[in-house]
Chain A
Amino acid sequence: MTVLCLVELDGADPADASLRALTLARSLGDISVRSVLFADSAQVPAAALADYGVTDVDVIEPGTLAGYAPQAWARVLADLTTETGATAVLAAGTDRGNEVLAHLGAITGLPMAANCTVVTPDGGRTHRIVRHRWAGLLLEHAVMEAPVALFTVATDAVAPVPVVAGPEASPGLPQRPASVQVHVHKPELAEADLVVRAVESAGRAGGASLATARVVVGGGRGVGGADGFAPLEELAELLGGVVGVSRVVTSEGWRPHRQQVGQTGTKITPELYLACGISGAIQHIAGCAGAKHIIVINTDPGAPILAHADYAIIGDLHQVIPALVAALRAR
């Protein structure tokens, strides 16, 4: 059996969220995973995909498809599904992954389950699914019955795990494929599928993405105002990270909304989330629960965020952060 997985690229590499989707794809049983990339065939990161058990890559070359066009991408996936007889199509639960699979659901009339954390085949056309509701604050246990199962994989719940290769490999576990078969496609697309396509502007220079940052320094109401963020920026830069903020900070207009961590902002998956002056509404917790480690700086030892953190310093961020910056500079 075959499953298709839409893979997004982050520079030259498969995006972290796509590696998580590929990891979940392997739980679908004795299958071959074909990954679908919209890229130039010279850009296919074949070795990195083999590390995640991918046997075949369908690369969709730009041609008429230059630029992101969600409905056209879905049309290509629909055709590939028919061509390969795939029993499931997955994507990462990113803006693009959810969007393309929703289009695929609409084109094919199939149901689509967004942001799954577990998918288990249950015979025939049935899959048992666990998925996020409320951005992960609740889990929904559900059953999907469909000839082709469409689902996206939560970006902050399934850890990316490569397949085992070499002497550590053992029978019964997924093996790293010896080679990856690359199939190049140059689809002809109907004009109607290309009406909506993205024109990309230049990226912000040097700005690491909040969603994929290794360290996020979070600021909340305790920062006190728009002019209180300089020490957080300095600390974030020292730690090789970026600043994220709580909802009150953006609704007060202290920082732009794109820096918001939470259910209606960005979901983050850093090694460290350092939450400063943030009390911890559950919508905020939904955005940061995917962090590997959470450390809190807060004046209030009873703040709800302490119940979701590993370590805390009880104190004023305006004193602790400058002292931390000085200590790190002195190292």
Chain B
Amino acid sequence: MEILVCVKRVPTVGGKIAVTPDGQQVDTRMSGFTISPHEECAVEEAVQITERLGGSVTAATLGPEDAIEQLRGALALGAGRAVLLETDGREFGPIATAAAIAAEVRAHPYDLALLGNEAADTGDYQVGIRLAHELGWPVATGIKSLEVSGDTVIARREYRGVEEAYQLPLPAVITVKEGINLPRYPSLPGRLRARRAAVERSPAAWAPEGLRKEELQVPASSRHQATVLGHGADAVPELVRVLDELGILQ
């Protein structure tokens, strides 16, 4: 089973998110970078599948040279090969991103491409689907359980409290969500191997798209600091009064 898993370098945001003065990016002076959470699960899933069925995992990312850090993260989790689809630092839209990944897929005999359902930062919800159409492969998205056997894959997700199951022939594109597994912590030998591993590079072609970012903005919060109703169980009568006033107790 040859698996391609796609990851994206995104800022680590914790307590707060801020935008650079030109309004073009997230301010990362006080933070580092990480892999989008859904994609960390995609890497773990790919590694688990090859541990069961054999084969190998290639991690790919589209981004600038700095994104090699995230490829090393995927190598430390168990990917065997890493490919940087190298950009000139410009933000690629989903169409150009899918085209660059498709070129990597066409050059190698993959059985399965795993991506996150959506990137944490841009949240475009479409790279996996556009990749599948480029390749003529079937695609299932938002998957939280995956069974690969022989030449098919059964993928499951939830919709309004109902489980949906999809059966796809391979090769296929699957986008996953956090919750499909609990990603392992990278082992020390894994981290050492990742540090020494070679990373292949392949240039990616930027192209303009019909949707063009102008500016990012932190939304004005509609709420301010909470009004404290009281302390401990003594505050419960006041809480009940507020719940009643808000129309919750009907």
Task: Choose, from B58-66, B187-195, B230-238, the stretch at the interface.
Answer: B230-238
Most buried by B among A95, A136, A316: A95
- Nearest A residue to B213 via CB reads A142
Q: Does B88 contact A (CB under 8 A)?
A: no
- Indicate if A233 sits at the interface (CB-CB under 8 A): no
Chain A residues within 8 Å of chain B by Cβ, number: 94
Which secondary structure characterizes the binding site on chain B? mixed
Which residue of A68, A107, A203, A265 is within 8 Å of B161 (Cβ)? A203
Q: A142-B212, A264-B177 are in contact. Are A114 and B123 (CB under 8 A)?
A: yes
Contact residues in A for B126 (Cβ distance below 8 Å): 98, 102, 105-106, 112, 114
Cβ of B53 < 8 Å from any Cβ of A? no
A315 near B233 with CB under 8 A, answer yes
The answer on a CB contact under 8 Å between B225 and A307 is yes
Give chain B nearest CB distance to A144 CB in angstroms: 5
Q: Are A207 and B248 in contact (CB under 8 A)?
A: no
CB distance from B240 to the nearest CB of A (A): 5
List the one stretch of A25-33, A37-45, A171-179, A292-300 in contact with chain B.
A292-300
Contacts of B177 in A (CB 8 A): 264
Binary contact readout B209-242 vs A (1 if CB under 8 angstroms, 0 otherwise):
1111111111101011111111111011101101
Rounded to whole angstroms, the CA-CA distance of A250 and B232 in the bound complex is: 27
Instruction: Mark out the residues of chain A between 182 and 206 whose CB falls within 8 Å of any chain B CB in the assembled complex.
Output: 195-204
Known: A265-B178, A328-B240. A258 touches B231 (CB 8 A): no
From known contacts A111-B93, A283-B13, infer whether A313 and B26 are also in contact, taking CB-CB under 8 Å.
no
| Closest Cβ neighbor of A9 among chain B residues | B160
Q: Across the interface, which residues of B come within 8 angstroms of A112, CB to CB?
A: 94, 124, 126, 211
| A200-B164, A314-B231 known; A98 vs B246 contact (CB < 8 Å) | no
Q: Is the CB of B158 within 8 A of A258?
A: yes
Q: Which residues of A contact B8 (CB under 8 A)?
A: none
Min C-beta distance of B122 to chain A, whole Å: 6
Hey, which chain B residues are within 8 Å of A225, CB to CB? none
| A129, closest chain B residue (CB) | B211
Chain B nearest CB from A252 CB (Å) reads 10
Q: Verify if A88 is at the interface (C-beta below 8 Å from B).
A: no
Q: How far is the CB of A190 from chain B (nearest CB, A)?
A: 13
B182 adjacent to A96 (CB under 8 Å): no
A–B complex contacts, Cβ < 8 Å, 24 sampled = A68-B164, A102-B125, A105-B130, A106-B129, A106-B132, A111-B93, A111-B209, A138-B216, A138-B218, A199-B164, A200-B162, A200-B163, A204-B162, A256-B179, A264-B120, A264-B179, A281-B14, A293-B246, A306-B225, A310-B223, A313-B230, A313-B232, A320-B236, A328-B240
Residues of A at the B interface (CB closer than 8 Å) are 10, 68, 70-71, 95-96, 98-99, 102-103, 105-107, 109-115, 129, 132-146, 152, 195-204, 207-209, 211-212, 215, 239, 250-251, 253, 256-258, 260, 263-265, 271-272, 281-283, 293-296, 301, 304, 306-316, 319-320, 322-324, 327-328, 331
